[in-house]
Structure 1
Amino acid sequence: MMLNRAAAAGVGLARVMAHCGGNPTAAMHYVTGAIASAPEAPEPYAILAELWEEQRTDLGELFQGADSLRTVLAQSYISFLENNMDGAVLALGAVTGAQPTIVWAKAPWFSDARFLDGVSANALAEAAMRTMDYGHDLDAHSMREGFRPWFRAIEVVCDREPLPEMMAKMAIFLRACGLTDASFALCDRADSIERIMLTEVVRAGTWRKLGDPDQTAAAFQRALALDPANWSLYLDLADVRAEQGDFTTAVQFIDQGLEHEPTEVTLRAAGAAYRARLTGSHDDLRELIGLAPHLPNDSYRGLLIDHACAGPALPSELIAEARRLQNS
């Protein structure tokens, strides 16, 4: 393929720095910039391979503890060169999570048979999860087009190494990309090997994305049957029923969860919120106010406060105190 202008300039400068300037750090900077400009072009990878072959000691020292995007990108290809396919995919997953609009997976090595035959299901699943680390929206046509090599890798690796837990994690990635039918299908394949709790949780999340609370709850109930002591599943079921306005059932699920984990702060906060919404209990709203600062998720804290403050006949000063926590 023809290199675009930015990639061609980066390749040229990398060659100068590598062979004339004797500066491997600068050379790597330019070559990784060229990869970013044209991930599918083979020339920058060839230069990076030459750099690694000739100056691996200097580059190895550079990689120690470095976590810049360009360094991690270089590590992905060098891991491939060293037959460390798991390290390669984990690094590329991290880079993709940081900048998913660049089609990093067009790298020729990512579709190479040697990579697809060598990468483990565990590493591919973890790498797929890393693509979501920064919260970017992957559910768009342009994103799906760019992620086609990932979808192909999932197909190949799941055929070779069908591990239910890893397949469930990959199904989360497919869902994030808007491929809900493919996500369900991969969950079904995982079930054909062994039914596990995580697969049902993934199904529940997919039904929730599709806006079907009853199917969501049914999947969580199946997950609970597989792991009946899991407090977080009771919380999930309570949240689904609260979304439907059924706070009586929500409180019942919370109480069941507390039987397994009576000190869990998120369960206690949700229980206080849902009881306040159901009964207008001043004490429950006060309990939520005390627990809310300890909740790790700000958006969930805000949601619980919204529910609680809608309870009947609650005093305005107590509501105002709760609302202040939403804005803190």
Structure 2
Amino acid sequence: MPRYPLTVSNRTVVAAAALARVLAHCGDSPQAALHHLTGAVAEAPQDPEPYAVLAEWWRDRPAELAALLKDGGTLPTVLAQSYVDFLRGDPDGAALAIGAVTGARPDIAWAAAPWFGDQRFLGAVSADALAEAAMRTMDHGHGLDSDDMRDRFRPWLHAVEAVSAREPRPEALARMAILLRACGLTDESLALCDRADAVERVMLTEVVRAGTWRRLGDPERTAAAFERAIALDPANWSLHLDLADVRAEQGDFAAAVRHVDQGLLHEPAEPTLRAAGAAYRARHTGAPADLRELIELAPQLPADSYRDLLIDRACAGPGLPADLLAAARRLRNGPGPEAV
């Protein structure tokens, strides 16, 4: 007897699973069988029937299924790999695979799969693997802060709670807290950071906490978290840059320059740090040499959005020459250098 009433959706799933079973057993259409199975899972991720077919396939012809999964890369093969890893007793591999699938299509509640909430999985998956899997769900930049997404991600949130309580590794908890923040659960994200601190204070937890306070629009708490992060890892130049950016957002460009200078003590050749220093000095003092330095460094910056932000801030400096301003603003529309 099926576990669920045979609604139209359930009938579709049962039919697809039945067709996949036939195709898998005949042995001539393994790819088609996998296609129908993954389609059935997408239709109703919580339905156990497609997984039962996949389990039979793995039990009866493991070499055939393993050969199919070697192709990798496609959503159907990665999804099947997640369940096969679970069947093989590899919960870490299962978590990483379903994290990748979720990142590709977060509009489908893949983690509603019965095995993902099974104690055999939740009691065995490592905190590090679940944290990495949680990060993979955000790989493609899909927005997760909505009621619909939070509903689809409920199994992930339950897994985070279960695994963080069982194995409270601070850096893993901090990475899991990023997923909570992405889902709009900022209070829960901060609380998980506090739980990580109760085990051991590490730099990453403060960085995650800073990002959450920044999202909440609290620059002072953001800056305080970055300052604590720097105290834990004083040679990390990117932390000094993060703190400089926060002060620049507040309009305190003198403080921004000081924090950049601290970072340059540890990484004097870093182009992003040098460009930020030039931009914030130009904004603070209006010195043409600083804007000229920014123009020279801008093509080396890896992120166009940050380049444009620095140019906008620098160009607001007092009394800067019109020709330099024009040259800097042209860089906003393209990566090529401008001779000055």
Alignment TM class, shorter chain as reference:
over 0.9
Whether 1:249 and 2:290 are equivalent positions in the alignment is: no
* Aligned ranges 1:311-326 → 2 under 5 Å: 311-326=317-332
Cα deviation for residue 322 of structure 1 reads: 1.9
**What corresponds to 2:230 in structure 1?**
224
The answer to whether structure 1 residue 201 and structure 2 residue 201 are counterparts is: no
Report if the CA contact (8 A) 2:283-2:317 is conserved: yes
Deviation at 1:21, TM superposition (A): 6.0
User: Contact conserved, 2:14 with 2:49, CA < 8 A, in 1?
Assistant: no
Aligned amino acid, residue 166 of structure 2: R
Q: Is residue 208–residue 216 contact of structure 1 (8 Å, CA) maintained in 2?
A: yes
The CA distance in 2 between the partners of 1:292 and 1:63, in whole Å, is: 44
Distance (Å, rounded) in 1 between the aligned partners of 2:165 and 2:307: 41
Structure 1 residue ranges (4+ consecutive) displaced by more than 3 angstroms after TM superposition:
none
Listed as ranges, the matches of 1:121-140 within 5 Å are 121-140=127-146
Q: How does 1:50-61 map to 2 (within 5 A)?
A: 50-61=56-67
My pick for the range that moved more, 239-248 or 223-232, is 223-232
Output the amino acid matched with 1:126: E
Aligned counterpart, 1:107: 113
> Which residue pairs with 2:316 in the alignment?
310
**AA matched with 1:123:** A
- Report deviation, 1:76: 0.5
1:11 to 3, 17, 23: 17
Deviation at 1:65, TM superposition (A): 4.6
Which residue pairs with 2:176 in the alignment?
170
Residue 197 (structure 2) pairs with residue 191 (structure 1) = yes
Q: Could you report, residue by residue, the CA deviation over 1:93-144 in whole angstroms, capped at 9, with x for unpaired residues?
A: 1111111111111000000010011100000000001111111111111111
The offset of 1:213, in angstroms, is 0.2
Q: Displacement, 1:276?
A: 1.2
Asked if the contact 1:69–1:95 (Cα under 8 Å) also holds between the matched residues in 2, the reply is yes
| Counterpart AA for 1:179 | L
1:41 partner SS = coil
Three-state SS of the structure 2 residue aligned to 1:86 is helix
Match in the other structure for 2:279: 273
Q: Are residues 1:79 and 2:85 paired?
A: yes
What residue ranges of structure 1 are gaps of 5+ in the alignment? Answer: none
Q: Distance in 1 between matches of 2:167 and 2:190?
A: 19
Match of 2:32 in 1: 26
The answer to whether the 8 Å contact 2:170/2:202 transfers is yes
Deviation digits for residues 228-272 of structure 1 (CA, Å, limit 9, x no counterpart): 111111101100000011101000100111011101111101001
Matched, 1:141 2:147: yes
Tell me the TM-score normalized by structure 1.
0.96
Deviation at residue 59 of structure 1 after TM alignment: 2.1
Q: Secondary structure at the match of 1:118?
A: coil
Q: Distance in 2 between matches of 1:325 and 1:73?
A: 43
Separation (CA, whole Å) in 2 of partners of 1:113 and 1:154: 13
Aligned counterparts of 1:226 and 1:153: Cα–Cα separation in 2: 29
Residues 24 and 51 in structure 1, CA contact (< 8 A), matched pair in contact too: no
Give me the identity figure in percent: 67
Q: Distance in 2 between matches of 1:57 and 1:294?
A: 49
Letter in 2 for 1:24: P
- The aligned residue for residue 338 of structure 2 is none
With normalisation by structure 2, the TM-score equals 0.93
- Specify the code of the residue in structure 2 equivalent to 1:297: A
**Distance in structure 1 (CA, Å) of the matches to 2:13 and 2:299:** 49
1:294 aligns with 300
Give, in angstroms, the shift of residue 9 of structure 1: 4.1
Distance, in Å, in 1 between the alignment partners of 2:301 and 2:71 is 32
- 1:162 positional shift: 0.9
The size of the alignment, in residue pairs, is 328
What's the Cα RMSD here? Answer: 1.4
CA distance in 2, matches of 1:8, 1:291: 60
Q: Partners of 1:39 and 1:156 in 2: how far apart?
A: 21
The answer to whether residue 127 in structure 2 is matched with residue 118 in structure 1 is no
